[in-house]
Structure 1
Amino acid sequence: MNTPVTVSWSVEGQERTALWCSSNNAAPPKSILQVDDTLGADDAYKLATSGTGMLFTGDYHNARQLLSAIARRLPDGAKAKRNTAPPSTAERFYKYRQARTHRARILSMLLVPLGAGPVVSLRRAPDVTEAWTNAFGRLEADAVVPLQELLGAIGAQQWRSTGLHIAALDAKIHPHYGTFAPVRGEYLDLVARAELPGLRRGFDIGTGTGVLAAILAQRGVKQVIGTDSQDRAIACATQTFQTLGLEDRAVAIKQDMFPEGRADVVVCNPPWLPGTPATLLDYAIYDPKSAMLRSFLKSLPEHLVPGGEGWLVISDLAERLGLRSREELLGWIQTAGLVVLGRDDTVPSHGRAMDTSDPFHAQRSAEVTSLWRLGVK
């Protein structure tokens, strides 16, 4: 949404124009058709798969039901075709990811109009002012947004308002839109219980909500610097430190990877799976060609004090899916001039690992998350 883009459509021979809004930087539909409550789900699905955007002008709740109906018509991409050789786990996962990307694109074809403020210009629409403003800032002109993204902003506002209790901090944090909510407490517990090599200075690379930096600060590290490349993450982490009363020892700065200087402990919880992000939240899950992971390992030695440690918090799900091998990870560690000082493992306790309907339940239920303690050779 940094570069203004407009979309146009026709109503009774008159051309209408509005701003195009997409936090995922999705391209606007090539053509837009104004529709209302009379549009059936089958016709909507056909329009969406043909690349036609549907600007809904009826009832808000009917728009949500139509979106759900379109979603039910989409294949999940997890099943193999008949009479073909069984694909590998990695091949199945790639197909699944392709289907999810296709799904996101199709669902983004159902659009809703916004008036300045913003106001959702549909009957029975909720007040989205706070959710939209916290996610994107004020809206000064008429706009069009995918309903799916508007619902994401509304859901994020609920997370932000309610907060998320973090057992490792014994406190709540309030995730912002576009920052990954740390619902998986097991990896936070690894950082909370690892023996600290020193208390003078710590770095948290890719801080997100700031939760790992906050754990270090709460454990007594005197100066903690969290870095992130996203403005929304910096704002969220800063609020986390203020809410917890840690702003005198923890700070978030906009920086790609490492800040200047060296630290006693450098923690990084990179995206766990190699892959291309398709949505804003995907950036917390998918790391193209493991670029962030490899960059962290390569530069870590020059940012550790003598005797300092790098804490890599990462799952082995990529290995179980066949996307990356343990040998590759160990090779990157060795090439960087690092040694493994120790490792602490934990098993998942989140709901998805227990979901037997998940097409990758076998891999998710066997997943192990580890804190790798790394030192310089």
Structure 2
Amino acid sequence: MVGDVRRLCFLLLLLVLLPFLAAADDECSNDGEGRNKTVALRLRIAAIFSILVCGGIGVLVPVLGRWIPALRPEKDVFFVVKAFAAGVIIATAFVHILPDAFENLTSPCLDPHPWSDFPFAGFTAMVAAIGTLMIDTIATGYFTRVHGGATPEAEGSNQIHTHSTHAHTHVVDLKDETPAQLIRHRVISQVLELGIIVHSVIIGISLGASESPSTIRPLVAALSFHQFFEGMGLGGCIAQAKFKRGSIITMGLFFSLTTPVGIAIGIGVSSVYNENSPTALIVEGLLNSVASGILVYMALVDLLAADFMNPKVQGRAKLQLMLNVALLLGAGLMSLLAKWA
């Protein structure tokens, strides 16, 4: 897990450098229309706390299943919450992030050759989705081979050790979780968090650098809603992965702090950051495309397909209906927010 934290920190460092790269370009500068620095600063500070609290609560709710029986992964409520959260995530990718990527990479501030000659946003999202599939399968296969079929340690598991002259056998009770399933849950949770962090930092910097109250107000409500339910989706994956307490806290903090830290960075560089500079448009557009591809794959394959094809769901028509309604509700509400943000 330490290696994963280091990689996430390196990614955050690269994303933090984005505003300073964008500051070097003067073309297509912002016109300053609608700016009010005093009001905007108050709104951005409020956004930091609102998004931090909503994201923290969202990722914490599924994890509480360790102590609250109704929220445990084997319960119906858990499946319904994950379906709703997956709907939020897939709408975020298709309705919010991908259109922004197309807008960035087809901006008139960019040289039309090559940026208007080829759909780079869609191509990059496709490559990211395929790349995520490859990483997903390779990582799962690697950890399965490394563990040799043995179950990774999970907090709360009961182990029975049998010793003899020629053998040492471990029998592990994981409450119906097989070693392969546990490995899958761990890979899924880490890949999903990677995709979330990429676009969360970009969103945070953009909001923090804005000095237009009319732009910031709808974003605060939209991002708070988004972070809460996206956190529930990630928290559900973390809960199923049965990480140790330290890893759960680390992953939860990374998710909760990413957007607020991005906002704080945006506030700090708002005087020099130009979101319409060619550098910013290209970097943001490509990263948004990558994030969109990752989230589309994770939502459809690792969240929705895995749960909707679960024998427990397939064998109960009422639970199937509940999951479908939750999915459509989550996707619909998140899509509706695109009207304001």
Which fold has the larger relative contact order, with Cα–Cα distance below 8 Å and residues 6 or more apart in sequence?
A: 2
* TM-score > 0.5, shorter chain as reference: no
TM-score, normalised via structure 1 length = 0.22
User: Which is strand-richer, 1 or 2?
Assistant: 1
TM-score, normalised via structure 2 length = 0.24
User: Which is helix-richer, 1 or 2?
Assistant: 2
